[in-house]
Structure 1
Amino acid sequence: MTASSSFGPGRPYRLAPALLLCLAVSGCAVGPDYQRPHINTPQAFKQAEGWKAAEPSDVLTRGPWWQLYGDATLNDLQRRLEDSNQTLAQAMAQYRQARATVIGARAAFFPTLDATASKTRSGQGGSSSTVRLPDGSTVSTGGGGGISKSYNLTMRSSWELDLWGKLRRQLESDKESLWASAADFAATRLSLQSELAQDYLQLRVIDAQRRLLDATVAAYARTLRLTENQYQAGIVTKADVTQARTQLKSTQAQAIDLEYQREQLENAIAVLIGLPPAQFDLAEVDFVPQLPPVPNLVPSQLLERRPDVASAERQVMSANAQVGVARAAWFPSLTLSASGGYRSSSWSNWLTLPNRFWSIGPQFSLPIFDGGQIFSQVRQAEASYDQTVANYRQVVLDSFREVEDYLVQLRVLEQESGVQQEAVDAARESVRLLENQYKAGTVDYSAVVTVQTAALNNERTSLSILGNRLIASVQLIAALGGGWDSAEMKTLSPD
């Protein structure tokens, strides 16, 4: 049963001219078309001078950027993060919500159709009496009244024509919100990937420090045994033995302290890949990933590579479309509606031709006076647009600052690493010379302890600088957008 089957012949065609006129008017859309807000973009990064740009064959311009570190374990951890991280799962769920919103906005372009069936029983009061019905129920009725029943089967259709582009602007806004959500998902993923890479690299540097301390403890233990033997032979004093033991125990304490730091990083990695810390262990390896080359982008490319910048601009585009939605409320709306069905007081002859009914016709609605509500909504939409523009510009400025910060950090750390290596070499040479002089009896043991402690501290400082350089390289890659590109948002299209 459809409503159209009950309409009189030729009646729909009388509405055709008006419908064609409405469709022609609906070609326009109220509200401003989007234009990217002006951004003062520099020609180059201030700190890029002196930064070693990689050859194209040396870096990954897109995709799994962590492969630049050449570590199979890190590659596997990143894969597990993609599969099991719960924060990433939340971001994907938020994206799916935005995608469903777009589907709902598209549905507004189509007519709605619904069907209802009902039975109604009613009575009119007078002097009260009780009547028992055939189905066993009782009804109180008036003396002059009676019981009436009504059976209804109705189908209704309604279609709002998008005369002023209100629905199109809403769909445009929801689409841009969807792209913003896709970029937010990418930004969350990049942040988690960066956090995992930093934790992993820090852990590997701690492993290197543990190997250094373990080797140093073993050397100090041999020295202590030698000193104790010399003391037994009357060659050295008791003070030399106590100094050797103090040096050994303090170094052992430093090695124990690293155990706590390593466990913390291991637990953090476990949570990032979606595992309880008790179910995750990361075996020690005897190498530290090398510092990779990082691509040197120009500032204009940064706007296409950072997902947070893309998200901020999509929010501007969505807010711009909402201005059109708000302004469209000033104009009349046109809704075409139709209904038809059967209505009868008897079940037996309910669906018969004499009991049919139908109605069809357009409905215009024009706001006359609303106390300034539409004006308020338009001003709210315009203010929201200005807010998103300011947020977009701030995100861009922050992105430029982050890149500049990490560029200068890497440059300074590179210089510091070179000077620190010279200090390590000099400390090693001092240890060699003082140990030979001690064996020859020309210096006391306290001089040896001093240079050995200085050598160990310089070795650890050198490893710390390497760790800082690795962390800064990850942060710079993330600040440059990682392997992400704005074209990747199209892979999440709802089409």
Structure 2
Amino acid sequence: MLCLPLAAVLSGCAPSHDTGAPVKQQLPASHVDNTLPVALQNGWPQSTWWEDYHDPQLNNLINSALSNAPDMQVAQQRIKLAEAQAQMAQSQLGPEVDFGANVERQQMSAEGLMGPFATHEGGGPWYTNGTLGLTAGWDLDLWGKNRALVQSRIGMVKARSAELAQTRQVLASSVARLYWQWQTEAGIKQVLEQVKQEQSSIISVDKALYSRGITSSVEGAENDISVSKTDQQLTEVAGNMKEIEARLMALTNSQSSALSLHQVALPAVKTQMPASLGYDLLARRPDLQEANWYIQSSMSEVDAAKAAFYPDINLMGFLQQDALHLSDLFKHSANQMGITAGLTLPIFDSGRLNANLDIADAQRDLSVANYNKAVVDAVNQVAKTASQLETLMEKNQQQQQVMKDSDRVVQQAQARLSAGILSGSQVSMAKLPSLQEQIGSLRLQGQWVDASIQLTSALGGGYHYTGK
């Protein structure tokens, strides 16, 4: 018999319309060939991958950025806000009990509702009445609307936690890339100073020969132009180094007036890559986990929007002392209590509930679409960066052979100098091409290191979601 009234109540609810099939989530394996170069397959990167460089200077910079960067502070505050919102939603699931008390002094009207209590005084008597006691209420949440909102807020907390991990790995990779770019520029500056030294040696000899009428002024002018070009390059390199220092200071939130860095050699490139991508990439990329939790949160919002079409059933109760005369407030006869069951049934709302459901559905589909795009971008980013890294590895190997050949030319020139066949200026001229190759080698090595850091970042920077 109870089923018939319940069916009648539910049939009276505001009708919901069909919102269509939701957008489906895609997976990495469905997009591209995710087999990675064999030469780069050494497993996933570690969470503190930068420590593999064994550079205390770099470690200090990254630790400073992770501790002081404004981006980290913003991400941490977003987590706190999401946790507070989740606690607020959680509080709606349980009962609520309040204590209240009031005292009222009033003159009764002899002609009003309380007339029988009035005396024959013209304005009626004065009374001091009081009430105190407990009131309680509980939304039974039979259709799970509040529970769905709690799950939505929990999803947001997890999304914000993944956002913090993403901020962390982006900061670490940005600092590491800038640091090695600075070291590359510092190495190039050192070689350019050697180039200028050799050019100055050539000019000194050339001036001596010109004063004796052995060479023409044209050769001297050409050498002067070469020195000027080297000075331009040195100025450009110095400017690049200052710009990098400023960016590092911003990332680390440094309060000092200048960043004190000393030069170190560029490191050997070591990559950490799995044999293939696939489902594991979803757990290794914090941005993908963030997007996934936004989906979970939005799906719970849809559940809450659907549950809003059904009636709300609330229980309310009170246990009080109530007396018309304050002196009688604590008498047993002043006790009163009651329980109320309330039902709120949406029947006609001008389309508000359907519009709310459409918004929740659209937000869910948008979250799924953003996730699918992020998956495609992530897999392509890894594949592209791995390809670039492999190409740079081959170029560096080829450059090493070029360096060996140019060094052999310099060694031969020095041997001829010792034999008295060549002059010192001719040896300096033989060194210039070798020094230029050193600059090219440094740039390639710097690009190789930079690409390896980008690949580490593309693989999640050591992040691993384990479901806990």
| TM tier, smaller | 0.7 to 0.9
The equivalent position to 2:263 in structure 1, one of 284, 292, 299, is: 284
Q: Do structure 1's residue 238 and structure 2's residue 228 form an aligned pair?
A: no
Contact 1:198–1:474 (CA under 8 A) maintained in structure 2: yes
1:335 aligned counterpart, secondary structure: strand
| C-alpha displacement of 1:379 | 2.4
| C-alpha displacement of 1:61 | 4.0
Using structure 2 for the length normalisation, give the TM-score. Answer: 0.82
Aligned to 1:486: 465
The equivalent position to 1:118 in structure 2, one of 96, 102, 107, is: 102
Q: RMSD between aligned alpha carbons?
A: 3.3
The equivalent position to 2:367 in structure 1, one of 357, 380, 388, is: 388
Q: Do structure 1's residue 377 and structure 2's residue 356 form an aligned pair?
A: yes
| C-alpha displacement of 1:150 | 3.5
Letter in 1 for 2:216: T
2:302 aligned counterpart, secondary structure: helix
Aligned to 1:134: none
Between stretches 215-224 and 313-322, larger displacement belongs to 215-224
| C-alpha displacement of 1:95 | 0.9
Aligned to 1:296: 274
Counterpart CA distance in 1 for 2:433 and 2:108 is 106
Letter in 2 for 1:41: P
| C-alpha displacement of 1:478 | 0.6
Letter in 2 for 1:164: W
Change (3 A) 1:76 1:54: farther
Q: Do structure 1's residue 469 and structure 2's residue 448 form an aligned pair?
A: yes
Aligned to 1:164: 143
2:29 aligned counterpart, secondary structure: coil
Between stretches 428-437 and 45-54, larger displacement belongs to 428-437
Counterpart CA distance in 2 for 1:448 and 1:182 is 59
Q: Do structure 1's residue 311 and structure 2's residue 290 form an aligned pair?
A: yes
Change (3 A) 1:280 1:369: same
| C-alpha displacement of 1:467 | 1.3
| C-alpha displacement of 1:456 | 4.2
Change (3 A) 1:36 1:384: closer
Counterpart CA distance in 2 for 1:123 and 1:374 is 48
Counterpart CA distance in 2 for 1:77 and 1:197 is 8
1:119 aligned counterpart, secondary structure: strand
Change (3 A) 1:291 1:415: same
| C-alpha displacement of 1:297 | 4.6
The equivalent position to 1:106 in structure 2, one of 85, 90, 111, is: 90
| C-alpha displacement of 1:165 | 1.8
1:299 aligned counterpart, secondary structure: coil
Q: Do structure 1's residue 76 and structure 2's residue 63 form an aligned pair?
A: no
Aligned to 2:50: 66
Contact 1:45–1:298 (CA under 8 A) maintained in structure 2: no
Counterpart CA distance in 1 for 2:332 and 2:232 is 98
2:39 aligned counterpart, secondary structure: coil
| C-alpha displacement of 1:279 | 4.9
Letter in 2 for 1:75: N
1:458 aligned counterpart, secondary structure: helix
Aligned to 2:183: 204
Q: Give the alignment of 1:118-157 within 5 angstroms.
A: 118-122=102-106, 144=123, 148-157=127-136
Counterpart CA distance in 1 for 2:25 and 2:31 is 18
Counterpart CA distance in 1 for 2:454 and 2:298 is 31
Between stretches 234-243 and 320-329, larger displacement belongs to 234-243
The equivalent position to 2:28 in structure 1, one of 36, 41, 57, is: 41
Counterpart CA distance in 2 for 1:231 and 1:47 is 65
Q: Give the alignment of 1:411-422 within 5 angstroms.
A: 411-422=390-401
Change (3 A) 1:330 1:50: closer
Contact 2:413–2:422 (CA under 8 A) maintained in structure 1: no
1:351 aligned counterpart, secondary structure: coil
Change (3 A) 1:238 1:61: closer
Aligned-residue sequence identity (percent) comes to 24
Aligned to 2:40: 53
Change (3 A) 1:53 1:45: farther
Change (3 A) 1:424 1:48: farther
Q: Do structure 1's residue 337 and structure 2's residue 321 form an aligned pair?
A: no
Counterpart CA distance in 2 for 1:49 and 1:328 is 47
Q: What are the superposed Cα offsets for residues 42-98 of structure 1, whole Å, 9 maximum, x if unpaired?
A: 389647554413446xxx743201123332221222222222112101101101111
Aligned to 1:130: none
Aligned to 2:207: 228
Counterpart CA distance in 2 for 1:93 and 1:297 is 37
Counterpart CA distance in 2 for 1:204 and 1:414 is 19
| C-alpha displacement of 1:337 | 1.0
Counterpart CA distance in 2 for 1:47 and 1:411 is 15
Counterpart CA distance in 2 for 1:348 and 1:428 is 109
Counterpart CA distance in 1 for 2:106 and 2:327 is 19
1:484 aligned counterpart, secondary structure: coil
Aligned to 1:216: 195
Letter in 2 for 1:39: Q
Change (3 A) 1:45 1:431: farther
Contact 1:43–1:299 (CA under 8 A) maintained in structure 2: no
Unaligned runs of 5+ in 2: 1-5, 7-21, 111-120
Change (3 A) 1:155 1:44: closer
Counterpart CA distance in 1 for 2:34 and 2:433 is 34
Counterpart CA distance in 1 for 2:67 and 2:250 is 13
| C-alpha displacement of 1:109 | 1.9
Aligned to 1:182: 161
The equivalent position to 1:88 in structure 2, one of 69, 72, 86, is: 72
Change (3 A) 1:146 1:230: farther
Between stretches 344-353 and 291-300, larger displacement belongs to 344-353
1:486 aligned counterpart, secondary structure: coil
2:103 aligned counterpart, secondary structure: strand
Q: What are the superposed Cα offsets for residues 91-121 of structure 1, whole Å, 9 maximum, x if unpaired?
A: 0110111122222222222111112223334
The equivalent position to 1:408 in structure 2, one of 373, 380, 387, is: 387
Contact 1:43–1:298 (CA under 8 A) maintained in structure 2: no
| C-alpha displacement of 1:374 | 1.7
Count how many residue pairs are aligned between Structure 1 and Structure 2. Answer: 435
Contact 1:47–1:408 (CA under 8 A) maintained in structure 2: no
Change (3 A) 1:298 1:91: same
